[in-house]
Amino acid sequence: MTDSLLVQLEERSYPIYFESIQSLLKKEVDQLEKENKTRFLVTDENLKATHSGYIKAMGFEESEIFVVPAGERSKSISVYKDLLSFLASNAANRDSVLFAFGGGVIGDLAGFAAASYLRGIHFYQIPTSLLAMVDSSVGGKTGINLPEGKNLVGAFWQPKAVFIDQALLETLPDNEFASGLAEVIKYGLISDKALFEQLAKIGEIKKDSKNLIDIIRRCCSIKAEVVSKDEQETASKDGRALLNLGHTFGHAIENVAGYGSYLHGEAISIGFYIASLLSENLNASFSSKDTAEVKKLLEQNGLPTSLKSPLSVELLNKAITRDKKNRASGIRYIIMKAIGDARTLEGVEPNLINDLWLKVGASEESH
């Protein structure tokens, strides 16, 4: 039997496959061909350069492939519009299927095009970055950015299946791999102490670490479970929001430093450290030893726990208040009662947050 797990969402349930990916994909494409359904694949320039053989082996011809520039700038209205035009000019219809072959940028962009083209067509995720494998390809959040902010337009649209092939990571740059590891560590912090301990025991996790695929699988199963209980993040507490541990701080850092100054994983890594300090402050059960363990694991994996250069506390706090995850009731933080046990929390004293920013190298001077 193929190694897979199921994301349970009633009629929108779907499998995540972890082995024999290339032959499964070829089978899927052949089946579409038999049923006379057209298929298209979205990827970026980097992957087109490193994996054109892989894409060809799945059964795609050049005319079926839409290639976008690599990086966040492709999650834009203009690239989205070009992708819709590509589908329309190739007469894609309601039976057509879109394949997203790339990192989180490609999955979010292609997923949103699939969600909106002809009011929704099927799509498949083939994540190629570690971040996309453990996080963005699972759960159905799709979307693009506006000049005013990240991910401001989008839809919940679940893929029909996710195909995870560890071998694709070989060409992933090391800093992008480390950025994905931040999300891996997050799962340990929010809900799986054993996973955190396993990671701490390994220390520096490498692309060819022999248990990496099991670790990826474990992360996907945590995400699948969280998503199946709170698909659209509407739970009044905890639920899918727990996946945002450290992200409120991380997003503020990305925003104030200027997008691109920090990789997403680097910014949220600092966010995890701040979340640990916050947990220590608000919870007798989370100790300074826990914070030190979190810091050590992040640093062992090349992830930062302090700012590269000072950013203004005032601007960071302003960015927090603009975070799209805020609710009418106020800013929602995620704290840990213990490693592996997280909670949402509102009503945190702003002064406490100021102190924590200073601890990671922010400055009281306004810039």
Ligand X SMILES: NC(=O)c1ccc[n+]([C@@H]2O[C@H](COP(=O)([O-])OP(=O)(O)OC[C@H]3O[C@@H](n4cnc5c(N)ncnc54)[C@H](O)[C@@H]3O)[C@@H](O)[C@H]2O)c1
Question: With CB under 6 A, what is the number of residues at the site for ligand X?
Answer: 31
**For ligand X, the closer CB: 47 or 267:** 47
* CA distance linking residue 182 with residue 131, whole number of Å: 8
* CA distance linking residue 220 with residue 352, whole number of Å: 34
**For ligand X, the closer CB: 111 or 316:** 111
**For ligand X, the closer CB: 32 or 131:** 131
CA distances from 6 to 12, 83, 122, 126, 138 (A): 11, 29, 17, 16, 11
- The distance of closest approach from Cβ of residue 169 to ligand X in the complex, given in angstroms and rounded to an integer, is 6
Residues in contact with ligand X, shown as a per-residue x/- string from 258 to 297 under the rule CB under 6 A: ------x---------------------------------
**For ligand X, the closer CB: 122 or 264:** 264
CA distances from 29 to 26, 32, 107 (A): 5, 5, 18
Name 157's Cβ contacts closer than 8 Å, sequence gap at least 6: 111, 112, 114, 115, 120, 123, 140, 142
Q: Contact at 8 Å (CB) between 336 and 230?
A: no
Structure-token pair, residue 322 = 């603009």
Q: Contact at 8 Å (CB) between 220 and 138?
A: yes
Helix H or strand E encompassing 341: strand 341-346
Which one of 16, 68, 70, 335 is in contact with ligand X (CB under 6 A)? Answer: 70
**Residue with smallest beta-carbon separation from ligand X:** 104
- The distance of closest approach from Cβ of residue 31 to ligand X in the complex, given in angstroms and rounded to an integer, is 25
Which one of 4, 18, 46, 256 is in contact with ligand X (CB under 6 A)? Answer: 46
Which one of 5, 9, 19, 72 is in contact with ligand X (CB under 6 A)? Answer: 72
* Residues within window 128-187 making contact with ligand X, judged by CB under 6 A: 128-129, 131-132, 135-136, 139, 141, 150-151, 168-169, 171-172, 176, 179
* Residues within window 205-264 making contact with ligand X, judged by CB under 6 A: 264
Structure-token pair, residue 358 = 């200073």
* CA distance linking residue 200 with residue 342, whole number of Å: 18
Q: What residue ranges bind ligand X (CB under 6 A)?
A: 44, 46-47, 50, 70-72, 75, 102-106, 108, 128-129, 131-132, 135-136, 139, 141, 150-151, 168-169, 171-172, 176, 179, 264
